[in-house]
Amino acid sequence: MKQGRITKLVLAVIFAGLVISPLVIKRISSARDSGSVKLDAKEALAHHGFYLEEVSRSAGVNFVHQAPTLDHKLDHIMPQVASMGAAVSIVDFDRDGWPDIYVTNSGEGSKNVLYRNQHDGTFKDVASEMGIADVNQPGTGVSMGAVWGDYDNDGYEDLFLYKWGRPELFHNDQGHGFTRVTDQAGLPPWLNANTAIWLDYDGDGLLDLFIGGYYSEKIDLWHLADTRMMPESFEYAKNGGRKYLLHNLGGGRFEDATEKAGIDSRRWTLAASAADLRGTGHPDLFIANDYGISELYFNDGKRFHNVGERTGVGFAPKSGMNAAFGDIFNRGAYAIYVSNISEDGVLIQGNNLWVPKEGTSGDTLHYDNLARDLGVELGGWSFGAQFGDLNNDGTLDLYLTNGYVSLDRSRSYWYDFSKIAGGNTFIIGDAKNWPAMEGRSLSGYQHKRVWMNDGAGKFIDVAQSVGVTDTYDGRSVALVDLWNRGVLDVVAANQRGPLLIYKNTVAPENQWIEFDLEGTSSNRSAIGAQVTLFWNGQQQVQEVSGGSGFCAQNQRRLHFGLGKDAKIEKAVIRWPSGEVQTVESPAVNQAHKIKEAA
Amino acid sequence: MSTQTAPVTPSVAPQSSGALKRFFAPDNRYLAPILITCILLAGHLSFGILESYQKTVLAIVTSIAAELVLGWLLMRKWLHPASAYITGISVGILVRSPAYWPYVVCSLLSISSKYVLRLKNRHIWNPSNFGISVLLFLAPETVATLSIQWGNNVWPMLVIWVLGSVIIWRVRRFNITATYVLSFIAFAFVRSWITGSPWLSEIAPLTGPMYQLFIFFMITDPKTTVRNRTAQCVVAFLIAVVEMILRLEQIVYAPFYALFLVGPAAFLIEMWWDSRHAAAKVPAVA
């Protein structure tokens, strides 16, 4: 009898412990999070090895993004439908050796801007004089993003502008201006795209284009026939826009090779990026989809093969909004970062960090989601993210922007959003069934994440400590060494908000090296070229990208942080042509211009 | 959502020798576990509804292990695992979290609540409702519940509705489900009128799988519902009333909290009523 009572007492204590265990776990997690501690520049340098200062005003940048106003049938949910279009891409359009910034705008009649680097810490908008500003005229749609690539190999980066509307291709006239060449290029007449990337998928030395549709291309968002234009399901939707793989025929013409290349998807694509994941010399394609699973296509040089499910990345449906590659463990293999939605108490999707499983490679490649283990899982309503060594310590860090709709701080739309998200297709698919937002926020005013790689298998959020304190509705992030100082600065585009430039200050003892590549047999932009750097007994691989993150493109120049006392053994460059070039013991703290050996 | 296997009303043994009829007999303790497993497998193989197999297996194993250990410690007998299996699988389906610990904690909370929160030798909370509600309330930054559709057509919904209705009919609890659904629809119109939201958006949650599991497997749990059939309907109606109030306060997990509040209250009232009734009878007998 007594023993029974003791057992019951013990059970009651254990039960009470179980009830409070979530609170204990929360407390432990909070204690680990140092990102909420604000530090001054000196302290941040001492603790984290870098500090970011927002300098857009002093740099002469005063861009504020405007959102579109779509068909009035969507008025009641306009803030969440017209919620994208702030995008940033980096280009040295005039080949002066200093990176410039192109930013898209999305209000009808609004202008995009091209900030030319003045070499003195400031920028000047030259988009109008260059002929690439007035691209959002009513009836032609509005900009969603831009990617730069030298499609005709003349040495100057050309501009592809993707829109909700008519996409545009502009030829760069040797840095003196741009000529619209859309009509002769053979582009689709109308689409609602939120991603596009340049890649040479067939290795012919000419850059091809991949474009990912979001809303169906049959829809004109300003003249809706009806309101059945929303996703047919919150996580299983296949009624989005089609994808386009446009094969570069040369002479400024492209052909639609999508079907021939084996890509057939109508998921709601928000991000795509390409990298050679298997060492085949061909860029594989990762596609992050909203309202569904991600897709991964292995490329055999002619056709793409959907291996999403087989490799583990394409099974659990989420709200994919980002695709970025990074060799986070310095072992010569890329992890893939996909952003999703997490909102306390409503929806905890968690972001995905797909890391190649030990012992798998090539066609057997398989990925595990290690976002939680490594500490990069929860980032609110996450959008654009990029890998880059922000403190030059030799490991890649991760910058994430977030926040969906920031309106009335005190009233949230989440309850109504969660209601409709659970509805059957005949309910969720029709915009008229969605409750009115009435000025409420939806995951608004969120703090950004700057996850510092500790080199020991963990990322620690140091955003507040290093000076990233904005709470705008972030969309697109690009990393770039804006002033040729050997550090990565951050440019962030915000929906209905200002373009932010975070100037980076890095502890001087940490060394770096950069590679500015130019193809000859390969495409001249060297998109797809890989550099594997061997130093101090470790290696890191990076690849020149034709677009990554969310609606973004980093600088083409590859930046490696090296840590202290770096002794570089060699840099091995594998060009898209298959050519392998080795640079022995390149000097540190320098940008190296390297041309593909003829 | 744990003890569908133990019907309250003693059943008459089926006369028919038909395998199907035997399978759907109300005293078949495997009926609910098999059907909920079929629903899970169909949902996951078709649409990948689970966070992962590992997490669901973890929830099931934890539930069964807890049931076996607690049953042996407190009653010195090995309990049949069917009930714990349903609790585990319910946790595995309904809890959505990138972490593993919520599946363990939720399963342990659910099972142990049966042994700790008891009155007159009966547990008063539906186990999985208790575990999920506590977790949603205390760990919102890590835990959510299934809140989206399985796929994008109407067929999965219809299959679950039909299968669920058959089971509930056979275990003589269809009155609870029907009362709740009709009340929910009626209150959806009321909410639409009050808030100005499209009425279809108010109906929308009912078309999702979370609600289908809630109305077929959770509010009908024989061990934690009142016995009288009229009273069962009243309780189902009251759950819908409380849910409406919570929904007007924009509480996302209103159905779980409504059952959490109303279920035990109804149960306690029934116990009080029974004891009063029994006390009234004693003098007559004496």
Q: Rounded to whole angstroms, what are the CA distances from A333 to A99, A203, A385, A515?
A: 28, 21, 18, 19
C-beta atoms surrounding B196 within 10 Å: 10
Residue A400 β-bridge partners: A385, A449
Instruction: Encode pLDDT of A362-401 as tens digits.
Output: 999 999 999 989 999 999 999 999 999 999 999 999 999 9
User: Whole-angstrom Cα distance, residue A337 to residue A355?
Assistant: 9
Question: Which range has the worst mean pLDDT, A142-146, A154-158, A266-270, A453-457?
Answer: A453-457
| Both structure tokens of B15 | 């006369």
Determine, for residues B205 and A317 on separate chains, whether the beta-carbon distance falls below 8 Å: no
Q: Rounded to whole angstroms, what are the CA distances from B29 to A96, A252, B57, B111, B262?
A: 78, 71, 21, 18, 27
Kindly give, in sequence order, each residue whose CB lies less than 8 Å from that of residue B224, ignoring residues fewer than 6 positions away: B3, B123, B124, B125, B126, B263, B264, B267
Determine, for residues A346 and B252 on separate chains, whether the beta-carbon distance falls below 8 Å: yes
Q: What is the largest CA-CA distance in chain A?
A: 94
Interface test with B, best of A5, A9, A19 (most B CBs within 10 A): A19
pTM: 0.92
User: Whole-angstrom Cα distance, residue A495 to residue A104?
Assistant: 10
Q: What is the mean pLDDT of residues A260-277?
A: 97
pLDDT value, residue B218: 87
More confident residue, A409 or B29: A409
pLDDT value, residue B28: 67
Q: A12 to chain B: which residues are within 8 Å by CB? A: 116
Q: Which residue type, as a one-letter code, is found at position A62?
A: N
Residue of A nearest to B136 (CA): A345
Q: Residue A59 — pLDDT band, cuts 50, 70, 90?
A: very high
Q: What is the mean pLDDT of residues A53-75?
A: 98
Q: Judging by beta carbons within 10 Å of its beta carbon (0-12, 13-18, 19+), is residue A87 exposed, middle or buried? A: buried
Residue A210 β-bridge partners: A197, A245
Mean pLDDT of chain A: 95
Q: Residue A263 — pLDDT band, cuts 50, 70, 90?
A: very high
User: Whole-angstrom Cα distance, residue B126 to residue B164?
Assistant: 18
Q: Provide the chain A residues 194-253 that lie in CB contact (below 8 A) with chain B.
A: 232-239
In the predicted structure, residue B89 carries a pLDDT above the cut 80: yes
Interface test with A, best of B100, B141, B161, B195 (most A CBs within 10 A): B141
Question: What ipTM was predicted for this assembly?
Answer: 0.84
pLDDT value, residue A475: 98
Q: B135 to chain A: which residues are within 8 Å by CB? A: 22
Instruction: Encode pLDDT of B118-155 as tens digits.
Output: 888 888 899 999 999 999 999 988 888 876 656 656 77
Residue that is written with structure tokens 């840099």 in the block: A571
Determine, for residues A22 and B197 on separate chains, whether the beta-carbon distance falls below 8 Å: no
User: How close does chain B come to A471, measured CA to CA in Å?
Assistant: 19
Q: Are B133 and B173 in contact (CB under 8 A)?
A: no
Q: B48 to chain A: which residues are within 8 Å by CB? A: 293, 315-317
Determine, for residues A8 and B74 on separate chains, whether the beta-carbon distance falls below 8 Å: yes
Q: Are A177 and A164 in contact (CB under 8 A)?
A: no
Q: Judging by beta carbons within 10 Å of its beta carbon (0-12, 13-18, 19+), is residue B187 exposed, middle or buried? A: buried
Among A235, A350, A436, beta carbon nearest to B98: A350
Residue of A nearest to B76 (CA): A4
User: How close does chain B come to A356, measured CA to CA in Å?
Assistant: 18
> A270 — phi, psi (to 5°)?
-120, -15
DSSP for residue B252: T
Determine, for residues B70 and A237 on separate chains, whether the beta-carbon distance falls below 8 Å: no
Among B99, B116, B134, beta carbon nearest to A372: B99
User: Whole-angstrom Cα distance, residue B144 to residue B97?
Assistant: 6
Give the three-state DSSP class for A456. Answer: coil
Among B98, B153, B195, beta carbon nearest to A348: B98
Residue that is written with structure tokens 């915009």 in the block: A431
Q: Rounded to whole angstroms, what are the CA distances from A445 to A8, A163, A370, B108?
A: 48, 26, 27, 37
Q: A422 to chain B: which residues are within 8 Å by CB? A: 147-149, 204-205, 207-208, 210-211
